[in-house]
Structure 1
Amino acid sequence: MPDARRTDAVLLLVALVWGSSYLSAQTATAALPVLLVLLARYALSALACLGFVAARTGSRRGPRRWTRDELRAGVPLGVTQAAVLVVETYGVAHTTAANAGLIISLTIVLTPFLDRAGHPGGLPPAFYAAAGLCVLAVGLLMSGNGFHAPRLGDLLMLAAAFVRAGHVALVGRLTAGRAIRPLHLTTVQTLVGSALFLVPAARELPSLAHADAATWTQLLYLALFCSVFAFLAQTWAIQRTSASRAGLLLGTEPIWAAVVGIALAGEHFTPLTGLGAAVMVAGTYWGQAVERAHRAGAPPHRTAPRHEQAEPVTPRPAQEDARWPTPTPGPPPPTTPTAV
């Protein structure tokens, strides 16, 4: 297989894994308390990340221990990531996997409102039009079989999209201009999350001993595939393609979330929710394209700051439960930055 096709296949696989994470989280929370699921996912991910760090430090030059910048960024990002997961996982437990994957995609158009770097003079009107289209899509998705009061799970996923957008903006602010290794930073975040969930979930720990094989399979899948594997694969692939192409392929995540929900969980789309899904995908792609073009079109008569000259980091559509842990960029390659 040519290298370009292999890279595209890896990115599509990451999007598929992240899309399927909503159904896995929904299945796990049906058997175990939400906080216990989060603790297990964080702890298993932390163990895997620590194993990778231990295996790689002997074969790479440079500091083996965590740097001060990695710790300073990793601790607050671990806290905000935990906040994202709490809201998101509770939301997945009270709505369909398809709706969860589609609504969380609002992160794509919400993040530029919070991360104003690279947007001199504000965002173009077309971006606000795309954001309005996404808001309309959320209303259609929440309507279900007819217009009624929004469901709790849909509202929680909407809140999760706002919180995740803030987290993504904070990632860029804390890592810009710093030599931070993505794996080391992610390891710090998983350790912080494990510590945060240990106390509130401690009373439920005996439930893990009584969990059946299917539940443990879901927990391991969330930790090892949706978190660790997806992060490492995305980091590998984004260095071998353009940010625009990577964003396009990773942006198929909500589509996979809908496909997995319908195929494996027997979820059904009404005409209203089907229309909402189509509008959401169209709005997020349009908003992403407008924002990227606006960043690239900095005024030529002035010298843009160094962080504006680089091609923008493309936030992955959400996804943590979906898509988690959030890969944080280290020093980007000369032409292609690492996606957040």
Structure 2
Amino acid sequence: MSDARRTDSVLLLVAIVWGSSYLSAQTATSALPVLLVLFARYALSAVACLGVVASRGRSPRRWTRAEVRAGIPLGLTQAAVLLVETYGVAHTSAANAGLIISLTIVLTPLLDRTGHAGGLPAVFYAAAGLCVLAVGVLMAGSGFHAPRLGDLLMLGAAVVRAGHVALVGRLTSGRAVRPLHLTTLQTLVGTALFLVPAGRDLPTLARADAATWTQLLYLALFCSVFAFLAQTWAVQRTSASRASLLLGTEPIWAAAVGVVLGGEHFTALTGLGAVMMVTGTYWGQSVERAHRTTTLRRHEVHSTEEDPRSPATTPTAV
């Protein structure tokens, strides 16, 4: 297998794992309280991350000041995302959860204006509007009725996740932050946050059956630790556009896993909403990426015109 295909396979596997996480979270929360599931997921992830950090003998194990300054607030926002998301999954279908949360793709550029000088093009808002309409259709399910609590929570989770993603860029851009150390700190923050609320239910965790522990371990080790490390490894070996394209298949896998493994059923309205959401997110993603690239090129040209001694105009040694 070529390096390119291997990288694509890893990114696709990450998307599949993330897509399957909604059904795993739904299964786990049907057996245990939501806060206990979150504590177990964070604690298991923290232990695994600390193990990886400790095993890297040549790499400094201490956290830098920049990593702490970024890791603590990002740990708080990440915990907020998982809190709303997990409560949402517990009250809706895994397919709907995965599809609605993908709204993050078009919400993030609205909150993160980096590289969007002059604002986003009008066509982007058309794509975002299609996604919002898709959410309405998905909430309708088998017919238009009052929105389900889980769908509304997933909509809120998409907004919070978009804010988290924008904050990641703001706090880590231009700073020497090691992804593994940042992730480890976030898992430690989440573990501390959910320890007290879940404390009274800890005996329940000890009595959980093997199936429930399997879901918890899958969420922690595969959907959190493996997915992050694999994503970081793969993104360094391919283009951002190709990576986002493959990772953007997550909602498709969420729907597929929900139907095939979760026994969920797609009505005509749900199927229409799924198609609209996938179309809207891919459309919006491509528009935003093209706009960002164009803006960057214009900035480089403008900088070159202002400074004729810019490296862009000087000969390069061969």
Paired residue type of 1:235: T
Instruction: Verify: 1:73 aligned to 2:70, yes or no.
Output: yes
User: 1:151-170: per-residue Cα shift (whole Å, max 9, x none)?
Assistant: 00000000000000000000
Count of aligned pairs between the two proteins = 301
Instruction: Verify: 1:24 aligned to 2:24, yes or no.
Output: yes
Q: Partners in 1 of 2:212 and 2:226 — Cα distance? A: 19
**Residue 199 (structure 1) aligned to one of 188, 196, 199:** 196
**Residue 269 (structure 1) aligned to one of 247, 261, 266:** 266
Counterpart in the other structure of 2:33: 33
Instruction: Verify: 1:142 aligned to 2:131, yes or no.
Output: no
Counterpart in the other structure of 2:164: 167
**Residue 249 (structure 2) aligned to one of 249, 252, 264:** 252
> Once the 2 structures are TM-superposed, how far is the Cα of residue 59 of structure 1 from its aligned partner?
2.7
Instruction: Verify: 1:100 aligned to 2:90, yes or no.
Output: no
Counterpart in the other structure of 2:218: 221
Q: Partners in 2 of 1:46 and 1:288 — Cα distance? A: 32
> Once the 2 structures are TM-superposed, how far is the Cα of residue 209 of structure 1 from its aligned partner?
1.1
Q: Give TM-score, length-normalised by structure 2.
A: 0.93
Instruction: Verify: 1:293 aligned to 2:293, yes or no.
Output: no
Q: Partners in 1 of 2:12 and 2:236 — Cα distance? A: 15
Counterpart in the other structure of 2:128: 131
Q: Partners in 2 of 1:22 and 1:247 — Cα distance? A: 20
Paired residue type of 2:101: I
> Once the 2 structures are TM-superposed, how far is the Cα of residue 64 of structure 1 from its aligned partner?
3.0
Paired residue type of 2:58: S
**Residue 238 (structure 1) aligned to one of 235, 250, 254:** 235
Q: Which structure 1 segments of 5+ residues have no match?
A: 305-340
Q: Partners in 1 of 2:24 and 2:88 — Cα distance? A: 13
Q: Partners in 2 of 1:122 and 1:207 — Cα distance? A: 51
User: 1:21-51: per-residue Cα shift (whole Å, max 9, x none)?
Assistant: 0000000000000000000000000000000
Question: Percent same amino acid at aligned positions?
Answer: 82
Q: Partners in 1 of 2:124 and 2:193 — Cα distance? A: 37
Counterpart in the other structure of 1:54: 54
User: 1:195-251: per-residue Cα shift (whole Å, max 9, x none)?
Assistant: 000011100000011100000000000000000001111111111110000000000
3-state SS of 1:18 partner: helix
Q: Partners in 2 of 1:148 and 1:51 — Cα distance? A: 49
Runs of 4+ in 1 over 6 A off after TM superposition: none
Q: Which structure has greater helix proportion?
A: 2
Residues 54 and 61 in structure 2, CA contact (< 8 A), matched pair in contact too: no
> Once the 2 structures are TM-superposed, how far is the Cα of residue 302 of structure 1 from its aligned partner?
1.9
Paired residue type of 1:29: T
3-state SS of 1:274 partner: helix
Q: Which structure 2 segments of 5+ residues have no match?
A: 305-318
Q: Partners in 2 of 1:253 and 1:64 — Cα distance? A: 33
Which segment drifts farther, 295-304 or 157-166? 295-304
Q: Give TM-score, length-normalised by structure 1.
A: 0.87
Q: Greater Rg, structure 1 or structure 2?
A: 2
Q: CA RMSD in A?
A: 0.9
